[in-house]
């Protein structure tokens, strides 16, 4: 056996061990039925964003959420899927977002961009300011905007196989296009679309063994590229986005969840990524958005601590969604989340 094949075999063995550990963690998560919707950056536990099938409904907070309605969406029936799989992704919210959206707004801001599920479906008419603390993610969106065909050309060289995956995972590049292609490829083919890096900042999520009819849809790359042309993209903390917010703007906020739903408390690992202190910073950020005469929409966990923190001025609306975690045959349940907004009912769509 060549030294290259030996290295791959050893890597595969290590990954199988990690996979087994991840599967065990997944079982724990399923038992807790709570942690499936949290942002994954550097998250050492798996999130099943890509395995979740959802339906949503909205009820005033505190009311029983049984009998969920799935009303016809006003935003448009065709859901534009993002290219990236992102834990905590809000594709499921899109079809009911029209309940919260103001009829008109000026510029749009999304400082926890993730996969961009909300932006790509909202397609704001005016200028958009999109940011995230994850620089690889921002580079990927920037390259999709600037040179979708260049990114696709690199992606054409990659195959969705264990060998290709681990080889590509080992590579680094200084070319923004190559970096974007590597990030997108690993995101699509890794375990559950997780994003996790080690202390050295190296991506270390194992191969996902996920098969696709079509790994990349070139038309989608070009469509999303066009949509991104109206946006300013940058990498940074959410507070930095305040400088662009003006009267009449809309700010959509989807932070990582620090506490999980209803009965459970702190999300063990997310607390390191987005702490309770960060949630408090977000409260002051929202106050500043409000004082500028702008509107905000915030999604967060349905938990009393979140209601107490963010609900001083705006009553939370409970959004519930049914979900299947882990795909076919797995447990079905309902997860409730909160939406806070200063958009009045009369001025929403």
Ligand X SMILES: C[S@@+](CC[C@H](N)C(=O)[O-])C[C@H]1O[C@@H](n2cnc3c(N)ncnc32)[C@H](O)[C@@H]1O
The burial of 320, by beta-carbon neighbours within 10 Å (0-12 exposed, 13-18 middle, 19 or more buried), is given as buried
Q: Which residue has the tokens 């065909």?
A: 149
Closer CB to ligand X, 11 or 233, in the complex: 233
Q: Which residues contact 175 (CB under 8 A, 6 or more apart)?
A: none
Choices 52-60, 64-72, 253-261, 312-320 (CB under 6 A): range interacting with ligand X: 253-261
d(CA 249, CA 292): 9
249 is a site residue for ligand X (CB under 6 A): no
Choices 106-114, 219-227, 243-251, 339-347 (CB under 6 A): range interacting with ligand X: 106-114
Closer CB to ligand X, 92 or 105, in the complex: 92
284 is a site residue for ligand X (CB under 6 A): no
338 is a site residue for ligand X (CB under 6 A): no
| Start-to-end Cα distance in the chain | 64
Closest CA to 101 of 81, 115, 122: 122
Quote the Cα angle for 273-179-36, to 5°. 35
The first and second tokens of residue 6, run together, are 């030996």
Provide, rounded to whole angstroms, the least separation between the CB of residue 121 and ligand X: 10
List Cα–Cα distances, 36 to 5, 212, 278, 300, in angstroms: 36, 22, 21, 13
Choices 114-122, 165-173, 306-314, 332-340 (CB under 6 A): range interacting with ligand X: 114-122
256 is a site residue for ligand X (CB under 6 A): yes
Secondary structure (DSSP) of 288-338: HHHHTT-EEEEEEE--HHHHHHHTTTS--EEEEEEEESSSTT--EEEEEEE
108 is a site residue for ligand X (CB under 6 A): no
Closer CB to ligand X, 15 or 225, in the complex: 225
Choices 12-20, 108-116, 284-292, 319-327 (CB under 6 A): range interacting with ligand X: 108-116
Residues 127-186 binding ligand X (CB under 6 A) are: 132-134
Provide, rounded to whole angstroms, the least separation between the CB of residue 39 and ligand X: 4
d(CA 65, CA 62): 8
Provide, rounded to whole angstroms, the least separation between the CB of residue 36 and ligand X: 12
Closer CB to ligand X, 15 or 310, in the complex: 310
Provide, rounded to whole angstroms, the least separation between the CB of residue 349 and ligand X: 20
d(CA 154, CA 224): 18
Of 46, 88, 124, 148, which one interacts with ligand X (CB under 6 A)?
88
192 is a site residue for ligand X (CB under 6 A): no
Write out the residues near ligand X by the rule CB under 6 A. 39, 41, 86, 88-90, 111-112, 114-115, 117-118, 132-134, 237-238, 254-256, 274, 278
């Amino acid at each position: 056996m060549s030294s290259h094949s030996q290295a791959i075999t050893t890597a595969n063995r290590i990954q199988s061990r990690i996979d087994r550990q991840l599967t065990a963690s997944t079982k724990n998560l399923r038992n807790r039925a709570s942690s499936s919707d949290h942002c994954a950056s550097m998250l050492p536990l798996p999130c099943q964003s890509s395995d979740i099938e959802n339906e949503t409904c909205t009820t005033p907070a505190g009311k029983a959420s049984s009998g969920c309605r799935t009303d016809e969406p006003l935003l448009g029936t065709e859901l534009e899927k993002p290219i990236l799989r992102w834990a905590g992704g809000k594709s499921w919210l899109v079809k009911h977002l029209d309940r919260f959206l103001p009829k008109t707004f000026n510029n749009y801001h999304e400082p926890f961009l993730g996969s961009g599920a909300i932006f790509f479906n909202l397609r704001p008419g005016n200028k958009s300011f999109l940011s995230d603390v994850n620089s690889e993610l921002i580079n990927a969106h920037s390259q999709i905007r600037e040179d979708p065909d260049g990114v696709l050309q690199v992606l054409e060289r990659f195959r969705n196989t264990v060998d290709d995956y681990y080889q590509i995972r080992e590579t680094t590049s200084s070319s923004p296009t190559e970096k974007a292609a590597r990030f997108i490829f690993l995101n699509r083919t890794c375990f559950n679309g997780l994003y996790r890096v080690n202390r050295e900042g190296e991506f270390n999520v194992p191969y996902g063994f996920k098969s696709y009819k079509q790994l990349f849809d070139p038309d989608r790359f070009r469509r999303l590229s066009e949509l991104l042309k109206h946006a300013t993209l940058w990498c940074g903390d959410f507070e930095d986005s305040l400088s662009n917010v003006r009267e009449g703007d809309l700010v959509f906020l989807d932070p990582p969840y620090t506490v999980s739903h209803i009965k459970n408390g702190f999300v063990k690992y997310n607390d390191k990524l987005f702490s309770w202190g960060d949630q408090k910073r977000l409260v002051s950020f929202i106050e500043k958005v409000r004082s500028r005469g702008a509107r905000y929409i915030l999604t967060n966990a349905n938990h009393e601590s979140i209601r107490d923190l963010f609900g001083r001025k705006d009553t939370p609306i409970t959004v519930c969604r049914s979900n299947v975690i882990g795909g076919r045959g797995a447990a079905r349940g309902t997860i409730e989340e909160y939406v806070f907004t200063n958009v009045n009912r009369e001025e929403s769509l």
